[in-house]
Amino acid sequence: MGRLDEVLELIKEGVRTSKEIAERLNLTVEEVDGIIKILESLGYVEKVEMTSSCQSCPLKKICPGSCVVFKGNLHELKKSDKKGT
């Protein structure tokens, strides 16, 4: 599994900050931010900045001010059976 996959998997599991991802994967925050930018450009995640609507969120007291959320579905291509084709 590559680093992109590892970061994406953590985000899908609910890990929301670069710092926490970096700690879990033994990477720097800068490395994780770079990976997240790649995942954003590919459309897999989006960075959510704190907005006025966050004021009513029950998690606002523990929120770091921005987070990364998984925004798509992943599809794995099925390997075709070469027998008979």
For 1-85, strand residue ranges (E) read 45-49, 66-70
- As a whole number of angstroms, the distance between CA 14 and CA 84 comes to 43
What pLDDT, on a 0 to 100 scale, did the predictor assign at position 32? 93
What pLDDT, on a 0 to 100 scale, did the predictor assign at position 78? 41
pTM strictly above 0.75: no
Number of domains within the chain: 1
pLDDT band for 76, please (50, 70, 90 cuts). very low
What pLDDT, on a 0 to 100 scale, did the predictor assign at position 31? 96
Does residue 78 belong to any structural domain of this protein?
no
**Res. 48: pLDDT tops 50:** yes
CATH number assigned to the domain comprising residue 10: 1.10.10.10
**Which range, of 3-7, 10-14, 75-79, averages the lowest pLDDT?**
75-79
The range of the structural domain enclosing residue 59 comes to 3-70
11: Cβ contacts below 8 Å, ≥ 6 apart: 21, 39, 45, 68, 69, 70
Does residue 49 belong to any structural domain of this protein?
yes
| Average pLDDT across the chain, whole number | 76
Does residue 75 belong to any structural domain of this protein?
no
The secondary element (H helix, E strand) that includes residue 31 is helix 29-41
Does residue 62 belong to any structural domain of this protein?
yes
Does residue 80 belong to any structural domain of this protein?
no
What pLDDT, on a 0 to 100 scale, did the predictor assign at position 12? 87
